[in-house]
Chain A
Amino acid sequence: MTETIVKLADLVKPAAVAAPFVLSDEERHEIEHELSHYPDSRAASIEALKIVQKHRGWVSDEAIPVIAAAINISAADLEGVATFYNLIFRRPVGRHVIKVCDSISCHLTGYEELRDGLIEHLGVRLGGTTPDNRFTLLPICCLGACDRGATLMIDDDLHGPVEPAQIKALLEAYP
């Protein structure tokens, strides 16, 4: 029988030390600009998260206390906000984010066929990212373009109506 010696120092040592998160000058400047829009700094929390996400693609756990300090609220409060809103990404996403509308008007005009076509073409499920890191596929609430169902957004661009047969050509514009 082998004896395992557990050293206390090993138990409390962090597994891996990640590089500390630092806001870039540009991010800090943009957050400060947003702060000027509100009498209470907490109100800038969503904009601050969006600013970091704009520059880095997503918001990591390490970013939360740093952003929270920049707007002078607790990290726990900011974490609560960051996990509430679906447009704040807490995991890395692909270079392009596809948001496919799954609300009633698009349901009536071909959402399920479009969703299945995207899943088949990309080989990922809703919430997944392609292995080449090119696309992340997400469902989204009504995009306010119901007269053009079925709709989807790729990054900042709205498309609709989109037929499953058009998926391949449409995605080619997003390398």
Chain B
Amino acid sequence: MSLRSAADPHYQRPLTRLIDRAAGPLDLPGFEAENGYSSLKKSVREYTPQQIQAIVKDANLRGRGGAGFPAGVKWSLVPMGPDAGEKYLVCNADEMEPGTFKDRLLMEQAPHQLIEAMILVGYAIQATRGYIFLRGEYIVAADRLNKALAEARAAGYVGKNVLGSEWSFELFVHTGAGRYICGEETALINSLEGRRANPRAKPPFPQIAGLWGRPTVVNNVETLMNVPHIVLNGADWFKGLSQGKSKDAGTKMYGCSGRANKTGTWELPIGTTARELLEVHAGGMRDGKKLKAWLPGGASTDFLLPEHLDLAMDFDTIAKAGSRMGTGLIAVVAEDQSMVSAVRNLEEFFARESCGWCTPCRDGLPWSVKILRAFEAGQGQAEDLDVLAKLTKWLGPGKTFCAHAPGAMEPLQSALKYFRHEFEAGLAKPAKAA
């Protein structure tokens, strides 16, 4: 079914309404015919930047990159006024959180939606330049974004005196060269400056001193794409999109991967339950297997159990259950799959992707991998279960520059909590008496 032809008059799926995978993305005239760039025009002609910030703050748009920080609050820290000088807006399109595949769809199928959002948010914080930091492997997205950007530039939406206003804005697509850590916003800034992607200490926060030492806002693709719709339809409309399923506002790009029948990504009211994602949209587990555990939103979130499936997938509800919604795309583990093996895979990933900047992360993660490999091979030592538990503290929040190692500990600590018996089954058998 084409979502585009089935355009919802109630506009309940603003981000994906115009997506038709078979037909491909709309070009500029096609996008404009569907109200595209009308939000930008309205913003520049009718609203002050501060008014747009207020609308988005009121709409309670929370960051869709995983942390859930309110976008309007983030922007409010940016110095404004005629003396504020060079300021930058950066789109975090470095989608590399394992299990996450929503921004790829949005950028490949609705590139103009991101270009409009970048310009509009650029206006709201009075940025002088914008960069879309796109991961190097997203070849199709880079091609389509560059094409859309060229169309937008030719139409006067980007460049000097945007839409005849006093405000000028340059926009570029910057492609990366790998490394998961680039998704961390200060590491991303270092990478964009052409440096190794080591995170920076905070404070100062990027809104005060970011890219090239100037005030910088970094927002995720999905977060940004919501903004033109919020400005056009209002904060109350955006709050209504959750249909009372959550205190949070808007829709969310949810998804499901792993051994489910119909894996994919879907835009749904925020607060939709994980059960609905798995059983309705993903058609349940493959081969009639039972669900054993699930990651709510990426590799750096704590595992949850089947008993948690009826929780609303929103930031606060999943946090109360001891995990994080993260990116909101669940990964499911079937009953016959090993948790030790899954955690070993996750920690190998984090160990490889550590930037090496601080010791707990650089040395602690390979240590956890070594232990997990031993348990997987049936060579685990009892005292190493305690070491793993200690590592979840030593690599936890507050011990490192950034959230990489603490994130890595989330699946480990939850697997130890819920599936200790699987680890114990990997203990080395005592040697037989001679």
Q: Which residues of A contact B (CB under 8 A)?
A: 37-40, 42-47, 49-50, 71, 73, 77, 80-81, 84-88, 99, 102-105, 107-109, 111, 140-149, 153, 156
Tell whether B74 is near chain A: CB-to-CB under 8 Å: no
Q: Can you name the residue of chain B whose Cβ is closest to the Cβ of A80?
A: B196
Q: How far is the CA of A12 from the CA of B79 in the complex (A)?
A: 58
Q: How many residues of B contact A (CB 8 A)?
A: 57
A142 and B100 within 8 A (CB): yes
Contacts of A85 in B (CB 8 A): 176-179, 197
CB A48 to nearest CB in B, in angstroms, measures 9
Q: Which residues of B contact A146 (CB under 8 A)?
A: 98-101, 255, 257, 263, 329, 331
Given A81-B195, A104-B295, A104-B346, A141 contacting B176 (CB threshold 8 A): no
| Residues of chain B at the chain A interface (Cβ within 8 Å) | 86, 95-101, 103-104, 129, 135-139, 172, 174-180, 191-197, 212, 255-259, 263-265, 295, 299, 329, 331-334, 337, 341-342, 345-346, 348-349, 352-353, 355
Report whether A105 and B258 are in contact in the complex, using a CB–CB cutoff of 8 Å: yes
Name 19 extra pairs, CB < 8 A, besides A46-B191, A88-B177, A146-B329. A49-B177, A50-B175, A73-B194, A85-B177, A86-B179, A104-B99, A104-B299, A104-B331, A104-B345, A105-B98, A105-B99, A105-B331, A141-B96, A141-B179, A141-B349, A142-B96, A144-B103, A146-B100, A146-B331
Question: How far is A164 from B352 in the complex, measured between Cα atoms in Å?
Answer: 25
A20 to chain B, nearest CB (A): 25
Considering the complex, give the chain A residue whose CB is closest to the CB of B193.
A43
Q: Give every chain A residue within 8 A of B257 (Cβ-Cβ).
A: 105, 108-109, 146-147, 149
Which listed residue, A47, A80, A86, touches B178 by the CB 8 Å rule?
Answer: A86
| Nearest A-chain residue to B143, judged by Cβ | A156
Interface pairs (26), CB distance under 8 Å:
A37-B174, A43-B193, A46-B177, A77-B195, A80-B196, A81-B196, A85-B178, A85-B179, A85-B197, A86-B178, A87-B176, A103-B99, A103-B349, A104-B98, A104-B299, A104-B342, A105-B331, A107-B341, A109-B259, A141-B98, A141-B349, A144-B95, A146-B255, A146-B257, A146-B329, A147-B256
CB distance from B343 to the nearest CB of A (A): 10
Quote the shortest CB–CB distance from B369 to chain A (angstroms).
13
Whether A42 lies near B193 (C-beta < 8 A) is: yes
Is the pair B192, A87 in contact by a Cβ cutoff of 8 Å? Answer: no
A105 to chain B: closest residue by CB:
B257
From the candidates B137, B342, B349, name the one contacting A102 in the complex (CB within 8 A): B349
- Give the distance in Å from the alpha carbon of A102 to the alpha carbon of B98 in the complex: 9
CB distance from B257 to the nearest CB of A (A): 4
Chain B residue numbers with a CB within 8 Å of A88 are 177-178
CB nearest to B105 among chain A residues: A144
